[in-house]
Chains A and B, each alone.
Chain A
Amino acid sequence: MRHYWNLLARTSNLVIASVVTIGALAAAQPAAAQNTPLISGGIGFFTITNGGNTTYIPIVTPLIAAPLGSHLLVESKATIADSFSPKGGGQSGYDSSWFLGLTYLQLDYLATPHVTVVGGEFLTPFGTYNERLSPIWIGNFADAPLIFPLGTMGTGASVGGMLRGSAVSNSKFSFDYAAYFSAASTNEQFNSQRSTGGRAGVYFPEKRLELGMSYGRVLQGTHSNFIGADLWWEPADTGFKLRSEYAHGAHSQGYWLETDYRLSRFGGPDSPLGRLEPVFRWQQTFRNSPDSSDGLPAADTNRVDAGLDYHLPHEVRINTSYSRQISSTGDRNIWQTGIIYRFLFPTWKGK
């Protein structure tokens, strides 16, 4: 959760102002029949037991998406969370840490059939985890991979502009891209580094195979490069998924491999057994030279995460996992549980 919390250093006024502004803008538009603004996201409760200390985390991550006309979309996601951790130093009781802030706030302009222009604060397009798997109702594990800070510039968010889209898409393959530039910002709400980068990926639908490459460069302080690669394979007619990423920074590198297998072959996806989904993640990080700021462990680290998710009806999921982290700085056992409800509804009733 350490990296995740880095995304949350925002405050309430801007969230409220943003939601009100988006709602007002959307309300001023004559919405097409299918373009009513929506609110989506997840609400969850997690427990993380690390080294014998259990932290309790209730969290809500609402997202609002509001089309404006036929070419614009305003979307914003916020995070509201609290964290109850045991007091240290032999004291009894818990300390509480409150977080509320924006994860992103962006305006999307659908410029051409293959180009979308994005402005504002957006998730940094490096690898796949940040943009695809970080929502609490999507991710199989409560915490981000260890290599998450590499290439995502620490915060996972950038402030500036981005071009993205699908350059080619047909039944044989598709090629998508994202390229961005971010300004430096120390604003508490929009914290980002001056940087540039992007990702390009090719997907082969018949093989259900996707390969991607990412690049990022920090353009402030000591300039440095990040390189990433990702591979997803989700063979057809199976419940199996393989997702993986590799990232390399100036002082460290690492990778993660995640697999899950929904047991829907046993009576279908809605059967008691078919709702089960064993999940597994293997991670390694390698420290090439000391750097206390890149977010990776100070020493080479191996970690295995094994879990069991259960998909209840009505968009509710229970996640459980056990992790063993092995490093020269100390081995750790980490137990995580969570219950997550995914919501999706219109901002107002349609005609």
Chain B
Amino acid sequence: MMNHRKRLAIGLLCIAALPLLSQDTNSSAKPPASAQSAKNSKPQSPQGGDGERKFQQNCSRCHQAPEGFPSHISGTIVRHMRVRASLSQQDERDILRFLNP
């Protein structure tokens, strides 16, 4: 058991040190690719503010945003994400507004 704990601790330490090597100032927050390139779905500040943040917090953490999609499926995408990512109704609305300002 001690061996298991030791190996686990070493593994965690190594992984925890990795971000120190990976500071990336060029990848600062910008509108996700999906919204940037979605047909008829470009975000506009300030309407997109909350939605953009929530998009990045809830959608971009797991996967790359799609390069583009027709605006008439944006509601379906966000409803699917509401269930899959356990979003609240307000989160769903904000993200949808971000995708369709």
Closest A residue to B69 by CB, please name it.
A344
**A265-B76 contact in complex given A138-B63, A164-B83, A242-B18, C-beta closer than 8 Å:** no
Q: Which of B19, B64, B75, B86 contacts A176 (CB 8 A)?
A: B86
A238's contact among B7, B16, B24, by CB below 8 Å, is which?
B24
Interface secondary structure of B, over-half rule: helix
For the complex, what is the distance from the CA of A345 to the CA of B22, rounded to whole Å? 35
Inter-chain contact B24/A239, CB cutoff 8 Å: yes
Q: Hey, which chain A residues are within 8 Å of B91, CB to CB?
A: 166, 169
Interface digits, B25-40 against A, CB 8 Å rule (1 contact, 0 not)?
1111100010000000
Closest chain-B Cβ to A275's Cβ sits at a distance in Å of 11
CA A174 to CA B29, docked complex, whole Å: 20
Chain B contacts of A247 at CB under 8 A? none
A37 within 8 A of B: yes
A96-121, CB < 8 A from B: 108, 110, 112-114, 116, 118
State in angstroms the CA–CA spacing of A165 and B11 once bound together: 33
Nearest A-chain residue to B11, judged by Cβ: A282
Q: Indicate if the CB atoms of A165 and B29 lie closer than 8 Å.
A: no
CB atoms of B72 and A36 under 8 A apart: yes
A238 in contact with B19 (CB, 8 Å)? yes
Contact A132 B76 (CB under 8 A): no
- The smallest C-beta distance from A173 to any residue of chain B, in angstroms, reads 11
CB pair B83–A284 under 8 Å, yes or no, is: no
Interface residues of B (CB under 8 A from A): 4, 7-8, 11-12, 15-16, 18-19, 22-29, 33, 53, 57, 61-64, 66-67, 69-77, 79-80, 82-91, 96, 100
